[in-house]
Chains A and B, each alone.
Chain A
Amino acid sequence: MADGRDGITRRDLIRVAGGTAAGLAGATLAGPVAGAAPAARQDEVVIRWWDQFQPLEALHRSIWDRYTETHPNVQVEYTVYNPSEMGQALQLAFSSRQMPDVHSLAGVSVPVPRLVADGWFTPLARGEEIRQRLPAGSLLDGITVFGGQVYSFPLFSFRQYTSCNWFNRELMEGAGVDPEVGPQTWDEFRQAAAAVTDGGGGQIFGWIQGIQFTDRLAVHVDELAQMAGALTSGGIDLTTGQYAHGTDPYVQALEFLVSLQQDGYLFPASSSLDARTARARWATGAAGMFLDGPWNVGVIQGEFSEFLDKVGIAPIPVANPQTPTFVHAVPPVGQLWVSSQSANAPIAEEILLELTTPEYYVGLAERMDQPPLDLTAVDRAEVHPTYRRAVALFQERVRLAPSPVVKNPAVADVLAEMAEVHPNLGEIAQGAFSGDVTDYRAALTEYAGKLSAERERAIGVVQGRGGQVSLDDWVFPNWDPAQDYTDAFYQPAGSGTPAAQ
């Protein structure tokens, strides 16, 4: 060697050795995944189950225990996740082939049809049996049924909203509000908030909300906008197919909420609270009213039971009592899915079937979380009067909205293709509360414009891939906002389409 060095330098050798070692380490790590099963008895089956339904854990455990009594070789290994963390866990588990047998989709916002196409799930072999057990219209193409096969089923009723007006009966009574009725309109809400604040001595306020939780804030604005006359679902006017955020109802809803802060009725720390901390502060008597979903009373019972007797409920307040308005809910989605990576799909499915019984729905109602798919179970269940009242209010005020995805499953590809637009509705609302957004209409209109442009771009991309989709898929000429848009309405014209009333 002219330079006195060997053919292979030490550095070269280290590089090769490092690569080999990393490869070996990788192979070692990959081994258990692709290789042998866990060291368990051959007939022993462990069903791994991941979801975010902590309030339902005891109910589900009772079902698993019953199943284990008759199938002693089957055990369910349950992991409860924080919804925000579950998406990440599934993201990693799917790519490393370590998916649980049964899982929910919390934190996964990729449209379900895309996940089905990507092979995430196993179809339920006993789909027809499930269909027979559920209330009519519970399973819809593009939502829980794909290619004629049932993949999942809803546990909860679509008939619910997130802006129930939960209030502190003592404070409301002290402020001269009838706690059996509660505020019904925006004006009454404001008057009640003013009265509670005036009597609170700077320590108790009329209204508290988790303004930091922008996703939830967006839902409140959206539902209140519908109470001001918006005929929308997901911010889209389903009579025109256009994004409606810049229209009067949305501006009015935002103005209404922010005016409560400007008048000093909003609990001052609301801007740095999320839904859970806001609820906790409300339960300590810091404020009179708190907008939240039906699960609120269940959480109060579990975590703040001493406050339970003070809880009252009123419907989502309306802007104008003379105009009938409805909250339009999206079709019921599936909550639990059997993974395509499950080696025990038939057993997992058999356990899931236990979640379609009348007893289960009663148990579900008694947890006072989201209302059960079969709402009649609430009548048979032992629940707090406010929960029963909430479900009754939903019957009056909630209607099933048309779904573009059900109308044309290719819409899901468009939704999957669309990039997020920021600031979004919740962020704009937060900015309005913080004073960073002053021209609400301009901000909302700009948001709607960006969403429209993004949707048009996504439609173009999907069409470019051969997808049959257009803006018309978001338009429902036969929609009567006062009626549920059931699957019969999706039938093409000339095949007995129900006419709008």
Chain B
Amino acid sequence: MSTPTTSPLPAGASRGTRRPAGPRPLAGRLWDDRWIYLFLLPTAILYTLYTLWPIAASYWYSLLDWNGFSRDRAFVGLANYRAALDDPLFWQAFRQTFLFMVVTVPIRVALALAAAVALNNPRLPFATLFRTALFLPVVTTTAIVGVVMGFIFDPVGGPVNLLLLRAGLVERAVNFLGDSDSALWTVMGVHVWKWLGVTLVYWLAALQTVSEDVYEAARVDGANGWRVFRDITLPLLKPFTVIIVLLTAVDTLQVFDLVLTMTNGGPFFSTEVVETYIYRQAFAATIPRLGYASALAVIFGLATLLLALGQAGGLRWARRAREAG
């Protein structure tokens, strides 16, 4: 089947707007969209080199017994995966990673929502200043935050302990980062503080979609602040909640730099998360195990993929809810 593409145009027709009725040859379609592909090309190349290729390489490395230095790369099949299943420290890190997520996501989302609602109030003075203050930790280098937090939570002269002691809340200084019962919770707290601003921005953007007219109508009907929040703001924000929760959840899986600088995974693995554990196996071990670390990374990647699938499902649900609304 051939489609004439060079036939003379009818009188009065514009060449730029006319589209032939049937399918056009590939070359013609590519040529028509050439600028799209040209602009896509750099991204496609970089994405292939720095995302797809490392992922593919990780899958291959996970089947090898390889230290990353030696030329010896013995193919060991699924042995690294079997070793991972039997590695209690990996599963401890895995549990702690997801505990981190389960604890910090609701706190981050709820606190950020409260802050966003407050900051969205046009009558609030210094709103811009508060927004900046809450966002400032986000743009602060995490490694520096980690080091500074070591001083802030220091049991000898650290401001947090001084405050607690002077307020009479504790009798002796608390070793927040040196005690395995408190270290992970302390890191979680710092994480929430550090990244609260990102979730806040999500909520502020979502709040912009709620028309001021709706609030005004509610106020005219005599609704107080709480009723407005409960019966208007929250229902209208529901579709966004799924997206924000899922974005925040994925965010909490990336805490490598904070953990490394605050506790280095200790004491005694109590703050070890999967990322730091993989790093230790691949680079910081006495004899690195790049193959094994790749297997751990693949397992963790698959777990993250499940989250992403949840995100996709959640997005679809949110879209439907929005359309229904």
Q: Which residues of A contact B (CB under 8 A)?
A: 1, 4-6, 8-10, 13-14, 18, 21-22, 25-26, 84, 87-88, 90-91, 94, 108-110, 114-115, 118-119, 203, 205, 211-212, 214, 267-272, 274, 277, 286, 416, 418-420, 422-423, 427, 430-431, 433-437
Contact = CB atoms under 8 A, between A and B. Distances in A.
A271 B174 CA distance: 12
Contacts of B25: 6
B26 A427 contact: no
A416 B284 CA distance: 15
Given A286-B156, A430-B267, A91 B177 contact: no
Interface stretch (B64-72, B113-121, B243-251): B64-72
B12 interface: no
Among the interface residues B25, B70, B89, which one has the most CB atoms of the partner chain A within 10 A? B70
Among the interface residues A26, A88, A271, A436, which one has the most CB atoms of the partner chain B within 10 A? A271
Contacts of A286: 156
Interface string B254-298: 000000001110111110000000000001111111000000000
Contacts of A274: 264
Given A10-B26, A118-B70, A436 B288 contact: no
B68 A91 contact: yes
B137 interface: no
B49 interface: yes
B222 to A, nearest CB: 55
5 contacts: A4-B22, A94-B69, A109-B286, A110-B70, A435-B179
Query: Do most interface residues of chain B lie in helix, strand or loop, or is the interface mixed?
Result: loop
A356 to B, nearest CB: 28
A421 B284 CA distance: 14
Nearest to A418: B287
B89 A434 contact: no
B178 A211 contact: yes
Contacts of B263: 212, 272
A436 B284 CA distance: 23
Given A9-B26, A13-B26, A115-B69, A269 B155 contact: yes
B26 A8 contact: yes
B132 to A, nearest CB: 31
A268 B44 contact: no
Interface residues of B, number: 48
Contacts of A430: 266-268
A22 B53 CA distance: 10
Given A4-B1, A422-B89, A21 B41 contact: yes
Contacts of A431: 267-268
- Top 8 A-B pairs, shortest CB-CB distance: A271-B178, A431-B268, A434-B267, A268-B155, A272-B177, A436-B268, A6-B26, A109-B286
Given A10-B26, A436-B180, A25 B49 contact: yes
Given A13-B26, A269-B175, A109 B283 contact: no
Among the interface residues A114, A119, A286, A418, which one has the most CB atoms of the partner chain B within 10 A? A114
B157 interface: yes
A420 B283 CA distance: 13
B268 A268 contact: no
A268 to B, nearest CB: 4
A205 B68 CA distance: 44
Interface in B71-128: 71-72, 89
Contact of A270 (B29, B69, B157, B178): B178
A18 B268 contact: no
B154 A269 contact: yes
Contacts of B150: 272, 277
Nearest to B279: A88
B266 A214 contact: yes
A271 B287 contact: no
Given A10-B30, A22-B45, A91-B283, 14 more contacts: A22-B49, A88-B283, A90-B69, A109-B287, A110-B287, A118-B72, A268-B178, A271-B177, A271-B178, A272-B175, A274-B264, A277-B150, A427-B269, A436-B270
Contacts of B89: 422-423
A5 B264 CA distance: 58
A434 B179 contact: yes
Interface string B10-51: 000000000000110110011000000100010011001100
A180 to B, nearest CB: 29
Contacts of A5: 23
A434 B180 contact: yes
Contacts of B154: 269
B201 interface: no
B83 to A, nearest CB: 8
